């Protein structure tokens, strides 16, 4: 799952799309591309490899158009090559897509029978032809509503139309997508970080929603195609947090930021006056919790494995851990007295989100330990414990891992004290140990 950017403006957009794609490079990708609308045409350029290749292979300065979409791809269907790179276009629609269309084989068969000709091996291309097909009988809004209903799987989409020179459609199911607001222009991005250099005013789409973006207006719709109102959030403007500074790469910077991560976490969660842990707004009675399941992917899963020992040592809770991608396919026996804890740096990890969604649908108690508090996992959990470590751009997690295990440890300690399962003396010693870490000023 990789990156999307879209801009509708009163001036040429290709330079800003390229800059934003470069911001998304930290995620790792195999190809990149842009499509703009100008003079009644869709101009599509794409290349295997880095965004630099795209710049080398095409004269992007002369790629005109005040509306456009861009993508960095992480192939799931079809080789990473020029043809499979996004955007994918028909004669009247161009699409960028993050995610996986699970019924693409069936849809392709249907579309081929209707005369559509496919150029790539991707699942994404079915979306292009499906919209083109639906546009034969309905207007954009209805064609999008119907198309989204026909798609199974996960997606964040950016779509432009040959006949609508200033319009971008964004749609989301299972993959994050945000709208940004600027002067005489508006944006679409799979990641608020990519939009940060242009705006700090953001609206996150929720699952099932889509939006229509023009340079001076944005409208949101639910999955039935009904207009809805959404909040605009103002993100912190502290650009320094997002810069590499003098460090060679983000990972080096983030390793240096580990002490401050501990210091901030301890300051936020430990009450300096009464030795208590500042987790007061717990939404359940403590007697209601008899077991805990810690869920994450990759690094976050490893922080769960580590924390299992602490929960076992400090509490009498039954503790289990699970990899989110396994959890969602297991025959789960959901239990009312279990607290399900979801750990994720970005708060957007697709499998972790799907596991949370499954718990929510079964009315379980859910808690998020995340870094990005505006993220989907944070927004959809009953209770959030933020990591407070600042943006982590490096792909190999460093300070966020440390932040996760700190918060998990503090949560284990808090539950043991609420359940009166730890002697006061030991509890105070453990709090003192945390406060005595050399980083705490």
**Closest to ligand GLU by CB, 30 or 318:** 30
Shortest Cβ 74–ligand GLU spacing (Å): 4
**Closest to ligand GLU by CB, 99 or 386:** 99
Shortest Cβ 216–ligand GLU spacing (Å): 30
Q: List contacts with ligand GLU (CB under 6 A).
A: 1-2, 73-78, 84, 97-100, 122-124
Torsion, CA 226, CA 227, CA 228, CA 229, rounded to 10: 180
Shortest Cβ 24–ligand GLU spacing (Å): 11
183's tokens: 């002067």
Three-class SS of residue 35? strand
**Contacts of residue 158, Cβ cutoff 8 Å, sequence gap at least 6:** 4, 5, 6, 69, 71, 95, 96, 168, 169, 170, 188
**Closest to ligand GLU by CB, 82 or 320:** 82
Shortest Cβ 67–ligand GLU spacing (Å): 22
Question: Using an 8 Å Cβ cutoff, are 128 and 93 in contact?
Answer: yes
**Closest to ligand GLU by CB, 16 or 190:** 190
Instruction: Measure the CA angle with vertex 421, ends 419 and 423; round to 5°.
Output: 125
List the beta strands (DSSP E) in 10-64.
31-38, 41-48
83's tokens: 């043809």
**Closest to ligand GLU by CB, 96 or 341:** 96
Cα separation of the two ends of the chain: 40
218's tokens: 């944005």
Shortest Cβ 19–ligand GLU spacing (Å): 19
Shortest Cβ 73–ligand GLU spacing (Å): 4
Three-class SS of residue 226? coil
**Closest to ligand GLU by CB, 97 or 414:** 97
**Pairing mode, if any, of strands 88-89 and 93-101?**
antiparallel
Burial class (CB in 10 A: 0-12, 13-18, 19+), 217: exposed
**Closest to ligand GLU by CB, 74 or 439:** 74
Shortest Cβ 323–ligand GLU spacing (Å): 20
**Closest to ligand GLU by CB, 74 or 440:** 74
Q: Give the whole-angstrom CA distance, residue 67 versus residue 163.
A: 12
Shortest Cβ 53–ligand GLU spacing (Å): 16
Residue nearest to ligand GLU (CB): 2
């Amino acid at each position: 799952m990789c990156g999307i950017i879209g801009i509708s403006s009163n001036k040429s957009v290709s330079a800003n799309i390229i800059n934003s794609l470069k911001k998304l490079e930290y995620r790792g990708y195999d190809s990149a591309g842009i499509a703009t609308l100008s003079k009644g045409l869709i101009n599509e350029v794409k290349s295997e490899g880095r965004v630099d290749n795209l710049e080398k292979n095409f004269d992007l300065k002369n790629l005109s158009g005040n509306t456009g979409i861009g993508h960095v791809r992480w192939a799931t269907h079809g080789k990473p090559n020029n043809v499979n790179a996004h955007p994918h276009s028909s004669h009247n629609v161009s699409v960028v897509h993050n995610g996986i269309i699970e019924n693409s084989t069936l849809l392709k068969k249907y579309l081929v029978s209707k005369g559509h000709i496919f150029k790539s091996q991707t699942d994404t291309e079915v979306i292009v032809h499906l919209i083109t097909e639906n546009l034969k009988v309905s207007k954009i809004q209805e064609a999008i509503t119907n198309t989204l209903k026909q798609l199974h799987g996960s997606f964040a989409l950016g779509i432009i139309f040959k006949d609508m020179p200033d319009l971008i459609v964004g749609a989301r199911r299972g993959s994050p997508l945000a709208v940004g607001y600027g002067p005489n222009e508006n944006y679409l991005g799979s990641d608020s970080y990519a939009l940060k250099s242009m705006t700090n005013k953001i609206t996150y789409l929720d699952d099932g929603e889509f939006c229509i973006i023009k340079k001076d207006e944005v409208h949101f719709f639910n999955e039935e195609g009904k207009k809805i109102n959404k909040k605009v959030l103002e993100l912190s403007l502290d650009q320094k947090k997002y810069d590499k500074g003098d460090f060679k790469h983000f990972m080096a910077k983030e390793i240096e930021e580990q002490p401050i991560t501990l210091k901030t976490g301890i300051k936020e969660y430990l009450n300096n006056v009464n030795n208590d842990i500042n987790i007061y707004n717990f939404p359940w009675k403590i007697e209601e919790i008899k077991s805990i399941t810690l869920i994450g992917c990759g690094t976050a899963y490893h922080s769960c494995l580590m924390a299992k020992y602490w929960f076992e040592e400090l509490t009498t809770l039954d503790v289990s851990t699970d990899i989110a991608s396994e959890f969602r396919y297991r025959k789960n026996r959901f239990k009312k007295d279990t607290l399900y804890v979801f750990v994720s740096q970005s708060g957007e990890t697709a499998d972790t989100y799907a596991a949370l969604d499954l718990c929510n649908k079964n009315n379980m108690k859910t808690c998020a330990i995340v870094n990005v508090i505006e993220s989907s996992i944070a927004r959809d959990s009953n209770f959030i414990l933020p990591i407070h470590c600042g943006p982590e751009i490096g792909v190999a997690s460093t300070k966020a891992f440390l932040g996760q295990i700190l918060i998990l440890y503090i949560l284990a300690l808090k539950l043991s004290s609420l359940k009166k399962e730890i002697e006061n003396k030991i509890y105070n010693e453990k709090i003192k140990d945390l406060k005595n870490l050399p980083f705490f000023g």
